Structure 1
Amino acid sequence: MMSLGFNINVAMVVRIGIGLLFIVIGNFMSQIRQNYFFGVRTPWTLANETVWKKIHRIGGFSFMIEGIILIISSFFIGIIALVLFIAAIGIATFYPTIYSYI
Structure 2
Amino acid sequence: MKTKGSHNYYVYILTNKSKTVLYTGVTNNLKERLYAHTNPLPFSKAFTAKYKCFFLIYYEHFFEVDEAIEREKQIKGWLRIKKEELIATKNPEWRFLNDDV
TM band (smaller chain): under 0.3
Structure with higher Rg: it is 1
Higher strand share: 2
> What TM-score, normalized to structure 2?
0.27
> What TM-score, normalized to structure 1?
0.27
Higher helix share: 1
